Homo-oligomer: A and B are copies of this chain.
Amino acid sequence: MHAYQARIGELRLDPAGQVQARLDCPPAALPAPGQYLLAYDPQDASAALATPLFAAELLADGFWAAAPLPPAWQPGLVLALRGPLGKGFALPGDVRRLALAALGGSAARLLPLAQQALRQDLSVALFTAAALPRLPSSIEINPLGMLPEALAWADFLAVDLSVEQVESLAGVLGLQGGLPPACPGQALVSAAMPCGGSGGCGACAIPVRRGWKLACQDGPVFDLRAWW
């Protein structure tokens, strides 16, 4: 765990109208796809917690942080960062066809993984009902309802979902009778992470097949086998 400073260089709206911030920071601070950083404004004594930041787009010396962000964050602000934290996505070396599924209102947190996959010349398909930014035309966009078919096409599935959606994941994937998905994959599970892995507050518990895991330490990216 390392500490860095980042400067907010610019704000922009994502396609859902929520604010993203461009953080200018040392390359060592950049989170791998699915990892996070904890950030706070050292001048703001009224904030009770740090904010977990996920990348929506990786740059050479910084990244666009996905929403939600504190409304008080403005360009010019210098933030204290620590991280990168947690386990990110790990694409096996033999993956050729990557399916991305964003179950929530934004696909932003999957886009760095798409960036990485395109650099590796994978075929990438995105399944979502969320509004999308302009994406490379090589990414095929599909409605979420087609996700069950994707499991036959893809050889790896990367999902973005909230802790509340974990229970309905099997249904969204079209799985029945407790059978596992036809292709391997991982899921980035978003939960509030107040202690951010500094020790078990237990707030980020994610139900898994046998008991539960902590998003902040054991995740936030989990193998789909956690549930099957």
Chain A residues packing against B (C-beta within 8 Å): 71-72, 74
Q: Which residue of B lies closest to A44 (CB)?
A: B71
A contact face: mostly helix, strand, loop, or mixed: loop
A48 to chain B, nearest CB (A): 11
Residues of B within 8 A of A74 (CB): 74
Bound: A183/B210 CA distance, A: 85
Q: Which residue of B lies closest to A70 (CB)?
A: B72
Q: Which residue of B lies closest to A71 (CB)?
A: B72
Bound: A137/B192 CA distance, A: 58
Bound: A141/B29 CA distance, A: 52
A40 to chain B, nearest CB (A): 15
Bound: A72/B72 CA distance, A: 5
A76 to chain B, nearest CB (A): 12
A78 to chain B, nearest CB (A): 14
Q: List 3 A-B contacts (CB under 8 A).
A: A71-B72, A72-B72, A74-B74
Bound: A74/B19 CA distance, A: 15
